[in-house]
Structure 1
Amino acid sequence: MHRGGNSLTLVSITVCARNAENWVEQCFSSLVSQDYRPIEIIAVDDGSSDGTLEKMLNFRDSKLDHEIEISVISSEPLGLSAGRQLALESANGEWVAITDIDCRPHSNWISAMISAYDEYTSENVVAITGRTIFSEGNTRVSKIRSRTIQRKYERRTRLVTLANGPCSMFRREALIAIGGFNPCWYHAEDMEVSLLLIQSGGSIIYESTALVQHVAEEGLLLFLRKRCRDARAHFRIVRRFGFQGVKNPSGSIMKHDFVSDAEKVVFLLPILLIGFSMCGLGLVLTPKPYWWGITGTTLIFVLFSLTKWTQILWSASLWYGGILGLSDAIFRRRGH
């Protein structure tokens, strides 16, 4: 088996989708446009009820004379982690890359990660992750999401704890050795396998030039559902690996950063509720000067907080997701 950038090193690119017919064409086109060879593409339709599977099959059939082999797997609606596992089991490559159907990898995505691996062949590199760029879109929510992700990547160092789902590739043998993607996991399957790989003695390398474009997250409800889902899955991660993270091969603790972009907003909802409580107390108790001072100051803060309504709702979705995660842990479901 050849390593690094050798032309014989096959990379299997995998993508899973459910009810995403409008994204299939652009995503698949970006995959076949990769400047690295050889590659194979494995797509999993996770029980779609729209035309996703048909679009996948049509694209595959239109490329039958192409140098890239495209496989399409149809399954029941089992979830993303189960879909990634199906793709892994069908992969032939030494490396298995993962992305999402709402992503458009740049043409050098795979080649940039392979080149990064070539620089660190002396290390036990088991995964390489690139950089996801969220389109800003046209709404306040999409701009917040785009800029938050940008700041998160700016803080990344060479060694990381998360090989992100939209933009990463793994050594297939290393991924199989830790059990692959558990079909029971509810979301955060990329974080889970990343931490398990580090625990097994591997390293995850960040390559900032391996770019993947993500469509804008335009709608507020979609944004809140995803942040709730993140928090719910994060509860499982913390319960299994602790708050501090895991040890890397050198013995240093590497903190997981799955929801680190939410640290500044998670306490907004509790602070707002405390502020309303203080206002109520100040108005019903004996009107002494210091109470009026506390009430006035709190009221100003509350009114200021209400102008940050998107962040308040974001905070609320995180707390709700945490409650759901606690419920999952109590009843031993969704990967707990």
Structure 2
Amino acid sequence: MLTNQGETHLNATATMPLVSVVIPMYQAEQSIQKTLTSVVNQQYRPLEVIIVNDGSRDRSIDEVQRFIAAQNTDYITFKLINQPNRGVSCARNVGMRQAKGLFIALLDADDEWLPTKLERQIGILRANPAIDFLGTNRNGEYWKRWLFKKFQHLTPISAHLLLYKTFFVTPTVIFKREVLDKTGYFDEQQRYAEEGNFWIRVCNEHHCVLLNESLVITGDGKPNFGFSGLSSNLKEMEKGELKNMRLGYQLGVVGFLEYVFLVFYSLIKYIRRLAIVKLRR
């Protein structure tokens, strides 16, 4: 049973640094300092920040090093890892394997956390120890309902629901590090919609919840698809989503008939996205 008790008042144990922040970085010289500033400005201080540079060719590394050098505090450990370009899933996995915290929080190099983000999540995780994985809203979102699903302040999210809509966005999530022991890591062979693949596997085996508060700004508030970055490649995104549908079927989350329905549902959404992008131009 979920409870709101203690959400805003962390107990003595929860005030200790418990969180490892993992940030994959590629060509992020324009945004990485703003992203890191949002971490340092958290009212709940993380234990460490692990930045994995995935073969950037711009001045991203210089910007990170300049930011770290400017910090006059020793309460957060910064670790910068350099690797050849191997993709965002590999970069996240490398960072997560290095994590020492009891919880892992993911953040992308062009996104920002509001100052209370970690404090709100850690408070809820401590008050509700059964929660393994906790996401939030972003960019001012608030959910009252989606189709027949009613949303509360804390709403359980199942793998089945995620096959219809991805309610978790990478920079909003925090989870127990032990989740990786059972579920494993991001699929490094899947470049698009890779986070959906991971969420489905996690939610199929763990208690996952959405905190119905907007605590993150993603991509400077730009549209969620068809604008820039990986999300701009709608065709490849659709292939990734269809792979995730197949994963749900293989895991037994849905039966064959519902899987077929989901494929058609996904294709309809893909056509809608194409139309929206065309209208923007």
Bin of the TM-score, shorter chain as denominator length: 0.7 to 0.9
Q: Which residue of 1 aligns with 2:21?
A: 13
Structure 2 unaligned runs (5+)? 1-10, 159-166
Aligned partner (choices 190, 206, 213) of residue 210 of structure 2: 206
- The aligned counterpart of 2:164 is none
Distance 1:5 1:160, change over 3 A: farther
Task: Select the residue among 139, 150, 156 that pairs with 1:159.
Answer: 156
Q: SS in structure 1 opposite 2:185?
A: coil
Which structure features the higher share of helix residues? 1
Q: Report the aligned-residue RMSD.
A: 3.5
| Aligned equivalent of 1:127 | 133
Residue of structure 2 equivalent to 1:292: none
Q: Out of 239, 253, 258, which is 1:232 matched to?
A: 239
Structure with bigger gyration radius? 1
| 2:189 counterpart (169, 184, 192) | 184
Determine the C-alpha separation between the residues in 2 that align with 1:6 and 1:229. Answer: 41
- 1:21-68 CA-to-partner distances (Å, cap 9, x unmatched) read 000111000011111134311111110110111111221222264321
For 1:77, the equivalent position in structure 2 comes to 85
Match of 1:311 in 2: 276
**1:312–1:163: structure 2 CA closer, same or farther, 3 Å change rule?**
closer
Tell me the residue number matched to 1:142.
none
Gaps of 5+ in 1: 135-149, 248-254, 270-308, 315-336
* 1:170 counterpart (172, 175, 182): 175
Quote the Cα distance in structure 2 between the aligned partners of 1:167 and 1:243: 27
Contact 2:104 2:175 in 1 (8 A): yes
Count, aligned residues: 246
Question: 1:245–1:59: structure 2 CA closer, same or farther, 3 Å change rule?
Answer: farther
Q: Distance in 2 between matches of 1:182 and 1:263?
A: 23
Match of 2:8 in 1: none
The separation in 2 between residues aligned to 1:120 and 1:212, in whole angstroms, is 22
Structure 1 Cα separation of the partners of residues 199 and 242 of structure 2: 16
Question: For 1:277-317, what per-residue CA distance to the aligned partner results, in whole angstroms no more than 9, with x for missing partners?
Answer: xxxxxxxxxxxxxxxxxxxxxxxxxxxxxxxx852748xxx
Distance 1:312 1:30, change over 3 A: closer
SS at match of 2:51: strand
Give the C-alpha shift of residue 154 in structure 1.
Answer: 5.9
> Which residue number in structure 2 is paired with residue 146 of structure 1?
none
Give the whole-Å Cα distance in 2 for the aligned partners of 1:102 and 1:75. Answer: 19
Out of 66, 85, 88, which is 2:96 matched to? Answer: 88
- 2:7 aligned partner: none
One-letter identity of the residue aligned with 2:209: I
In 1, the alpha carbon distance for the partners of 2:144 and 2:110 equals 19
Within-5 A mapping of 1:78-117: 78-117=86-125
8 A Cα contact 2:238 2:270, kept in partner: no
Q: What letter matches 1:233 in structure 2?
A: G
Separation in 2, partners of 1:37, 1:95: 13
Deviations 1:205-264 (A, max 9, x none): 1112350012133796538724334312102101211399838xxxxxxx9xx99x9787
- The alignment's TM-score, normalised by the length of structure 2, stands at 0.75
Structure 1 residues 198 and 49: alpha-carbon distance in aligned structure 2, compared to 1, 3 A threshold:
same
- Counterpart mapping for 1:13-52 below 5 A: 13-52=21-60
Contact 1:126 1:197 in 2 (8 A): no
Q: CA deviation at 1:117?
A: 1.7
- Separation (CA, whole Å) in 1 of partners of 2:13 and 2:183: 25
Structure 1 position 55 matched with structure 2 position 72: no
CA distance in 1, matches of 2:114, 2:252: 31
Aligned-pair identity (%): 18
Distance 1:27 1:154, change over 3 A: farther
Change (3 A) 1:264 1:192: closer
- Judged with a 3 Å threshold, the aligned counterparts in structure 2 of structure 1 residues 38 and 45 are, in CA distance, closer, same or farther, namely closer
- Letter in structure 2 aligned against 1:212: V
- Judging changes above 3 Å, is the alpha-carbon distance between structure 1 residues 16 and 268 closer, same or farther for their aligned structure 2 residues? closer
Using CA pairs below 8 Å that are at least 6 residues apart, which structure has the higher relative contact order? Answer: 2
